[in-house]
A = this chain, B = another copy of it.
Amino acid sequence: MNEFRVGGRAGGPTARLDKLPWAPGENFLGLPEEHARFEDVGVVILPVPYEATVSYMGGTRFGPRGLLHASRFVELYDHELDAEPYTIGVHTLPELMLTGAGPGKAMRELRRAFDALLGSGKFVIMLGGEHSVSGPPILAHADRLERGKLSVLQLDAHADLRAEYEGTPYSHACVMHTVHERVKLVQVGIRSLTAEERALQRKRRMTVVFGHELDQPDWEDRVMRALGRDVYITVDVDYFDPSIMPATGTPEPGGGAWNPTIRLLDRVFRERNVVGADVVELAPLPGMVAPDFLAAKLVYKLIGFHARGRGR
C-alpha cells in the first residue's frame, strides 16, 4: 500500500480514535476523503458488476470488486509521467446494480445513469461487468455530438458485431453492433469473429487491427489515422494476451502486450480529446491477483493521461 493506506481516519467517532492507524475504505486507490469527494474530483469511477449473458467462464460481476481492491496496491506516483495523478481527485461510486428483469431493461437503466452522470462534467471511467454495458455510455456520449463524430477505440479480442446472440441484441457479443451506425469504430486486437461480422467490417470499411498484426510496425499509426477528434475508449480486457490476462471469459491467444498498449493510449490522450472510457470483462481468478492488478494499473494510467491534459 502507499502512503495514504496507513494513517487514514476512522470516520471521526471520537478524537482519540482519529489518531489510530486506520486503513481507508475500498475506493479506487484507497484515497482519503479529501482526494475523493464527488464535488471536488476530476474523475469518477463507476462500477457496474452486470453479468447476465453467458460466455465460456463467468465471473465478470466480480470484476469491479477485484479491480478496486487491487488498486490499493498501485503506487500513487507515476514515474513515466513523473507525476501524482490522483491529485486530480478520484471519486468511486458504489456498485450500480442493474435490474435482473432482462438485458433491454437493464441497458435502459444504465443509460439513465449515464445521462445523469455526464451532466456533472466529470471524466467517467466505468468498470464492468460484461461488455454489453459499454453500449449505453457510448450512445450517451455519441448523442452529445453530431452523428458519426464520436470515434470509439475498441481494444478487444472479439468483434462483438453480431446482430443478435442467444436471443437478444443486448448480449456482450452484440455490443458494437448496437452502436456501430452511430459512431466511427476502430477495432484493435481482434482475433475471433464470424464470417458475418467480417462482412460487416468490410461493408462499413472499419479500421481493424487484427491480433496477428500487432507485431507489425505501423499498427499504431493505422489506429491514429482512423480516430476522429473525440474518442471514447472501451477496453475489453480479453484484448490483452492471455499470458498477462487469463482472468476473462474467453481468453484468445495472440493478444496485446502491456507496454505497446500503454504507448498507444498515451498517444491517443495526447493527440485526441478522450471523452470517456471503460474497462470491462475482468473475471478475477481466485487466488491470482496479477490480472486484477494489471486492470487497476491500466485504469490509473488512463487517469494519469487524462490528468496530464488538465495540468496534473
Number of interface residues of A (CB under 8 A): 103
Does B250 lie within 8 Å of A258, measured CB to CB?
A: no
- Whether the pair B22, A25 counts as a contact (CB closer than 8 A) is no
B289 touches A56 (CB 8 A): yes
The answer to whether A97 and B5 touch (CB under 8 A), given A80-B212, A192-B75, is yes
Which residues of B are found within 8 Å of A285, using beta-carbon distances? 287-288
- The stretch of A11-19, A137-145, A222-230, A274-282 that contacts the partner chain: A11-19
Query: Who on chain B is nearest to A102 by CB?
Result: B102
Once bound together, how far apart are the Cα atoms of A246 and B243, in whole Å? 9
Q: Which residues of chain B are within 8 angstroms of A100 by Cβ–Cβ distance? A: 52-54, 103, 165-168, 171
A241 at the interface (CB under 8 A from B): yes
Chain B CB within 8 A of A23 CB: yes
Closest to A68 in B: B26
| Pair A2/B120 contact, Cβ less than 8 Å | no
A-B contact pairs, 9 of them (CB 8 A): A3-B194, A20-B109, A20-B112, A79-B192, A79-B193, A100-B167, A246-B288, A246-B290, A253-B258
Which of these, B16, B65, B167, B251, contacts A99 with CB under 8 Å? B167
Q: Are B8 and A117 in contact (CB under 8 A)?
A: no
Decide if A38 is an interface residue (CB 8 Å cutoff).
yes
- Interface SS, A side: loop
In the complex the two chains form, what is the Cα distance from A73 to B215 in whole Å?
25
Asked if A293 is at the interface of the complex by the 8 Å CB criterion, the answer is yes
**Chain B residues, CB < 8 A from A113:** 17, 20
Question: A21 touching B293 by the CB < 8 A rule?
Answer: no
C-alpha spacing A93/B16, complex, angstroms: 14
With A11-B94, A24-B94, A94-B10 in contact, do A166 and B290 touch (Cβ < 8 Å)?
no
Are A26 and B23 closer than 8 Å at their CB atoms? no
A120→B13 CA distance, assembly (Å): 9
Q: A24 to chain B: which residues have CB within 8 Å?
A: 94
Give the CA-CA distance A24 to B103 in the complex, in Å.
Answer: 23
Contact B94 A293 (CB under 8 A): no
- Asked if B98 and A21 sit within 8 Å, CB to CB, the answer is yes
Asked whether any CB of chain B lies closer than 8 Å to the CB of A43, the reply is: no
Q: Does A84 contact B (CB under 8 A)?
A: yes
Chain A positions 165 through 193: 1 when the CB is less than 8 Å from some CB of chain B, otherwise 0: 11110010000000000000000001111
Over the window 66-82 of chain A, the binary record of Cβ atoms lying under 8 Å from chain B Cβ atoms (1 yes, 0 no) is: 00011001111101101
